[in-house]
Amino acid sequence: MARPLALLLLGGGEWQPGTEAADAWWLTHADRPVVTVVTTAAQDGPERALTVAARHYAALGATVLGCRIQTPADASDPARLAELERAAAIYLCGGDPGAARRVLVGSPAAAGLARAAARIPIAGSSAGAMVLSGVCLLPGRGTAAPGLGYLPGTAVAPHWDQADDRWRRRVARLVGGGVACLGIDERTGLGWDRGGWRVLGPGGAEVLPAAAAAAGRPDLPGTAPVLPSGSGPAA
């Protein structure tokens, strides 16, 4: 997989007040202000997600197009694949990480996303960020499974500022000893481009210390307000 042009991982609460800085930074990497929202994780309300996204991005001077990949058949549909090919920026919305993984991983849409990521910015929030990672947490099933692979050997735990001790311990068990895990607060983005990592928004981002140490990743510190450039996405 080619290293993405720019990657934004949001800890949930996409398109809500407080996320403007993250989205504005991300949009600077697009050649035109048009965001294609992939609604796979929003199985119960793709149109509602698109309405919220359109209102949010209009305030930033951008427009929204929907890419409604809800089923495995959609993920092979030439019309949906053409939408990914034409996109200027692609955003995977939040919702159900299990549904996002089931539909996208290993699909023609995943291959289209990988091709697009080399030339346009890619983002995901909550479930969207989870499935973009190398390891996708599946809390409803109490397990983890391979994601789309943009951060090899790494999982994303969104809504980290809302996580209680029980959930934090559960995340540590789900990822296991060989996986680093990024805890990202709601309405906060963890952005990467060729300049390295940055945290954008009102909250923070943390690398789980136990998971990072067990994974033998000294480049990922125990707490990382801004992650080092050496820990970027896959080349």
The CATH number assigned to the domain holding 224 equals 3.40.50.880
Flag whether 49 is in a domain.
yes
According to the model, what pLDDT value does residue 229 have?
39
Q: In this structure, are residues 197 and 212 in contact, taking their beta carbons and an 8 Å threshold?
A: no
Flag whether 84 is in a domain.
yes
What does the alpha-carbon distance between residue 126 and residue 83 come to, in Å, rounded to a whole number?
Answer: 23
According to the model, what pLDDT value does residue 174 have?
80
Flag whether 126 is in a domain.
yes
Sequence length of the chain is 235
Flag whether 113 is in a domain.
yes
φ and ψ of 144, to 5 deg: -140, 155
Strand 180-184 vs strand 205-207: parallel, antiparallel, or unpaired?
antiparallel
According to the model, what pLDDT value does residue 233 have?
76
Output the CA torsion 101→55→197→105 (10° steps).
Answer: 10
Which residues lie below 8 Å from residue 39, measured CB to CB, with a gap of 6+?
A: 46, 49, 50, 66, 67, 68, 69, 70, 93
According to the model, what pLDDT value does residue 215 have?
44
Neighbour-count burial for 162-188, b at 16+ CB within 10 Å, e otherwise: ebeeeeeebbbebbeeebbbbbbbbbb
The parent domain of residue 114 ranges over: 6-231
Flag whether 1 is in a domain.
no
According to the model, what pLDDT value does residue 231 have?
53
Flag whether 36 is in a domain.
yes
Which residues lie below 8 Å from residue 10, measured CB to CB, with a gap of 6+?
A: 19, 22, 123, 124, 125, 126, 128, 129, 158, 184, 187, 188, 189, 190, 201
According to the model, what pLDDT value does residue 183 have?
92
Structure tokens at 64: 């929204």
* 203 residue type, one letter: G
pLDDT, block means (10 residues), the chain with 235 residues:
86 97 97 98 96 98 98 98 98 98 98 96 98 93 92 92 86 78 94 90 81 42 40 63
Closest CA to 224 of 165, 180, 194, 186: 180
What does the alpha-carbon distance between residue 52 and residue 74 come to, in Å, rounded to a whole number?
Answer: 22
What does the alpha-carbon distance between residue 63 and residue 79 come to, in Å, rounded to a whole number?
Answer: 20
**What is the tally of structural domains in the chain?**
1
What does the alpha-carbon distance between residue 231 and residue 121 come to, in Å, rounded to a whole number?
Answer: 18
Closest CA to 184 of 195, 193, 171: 171
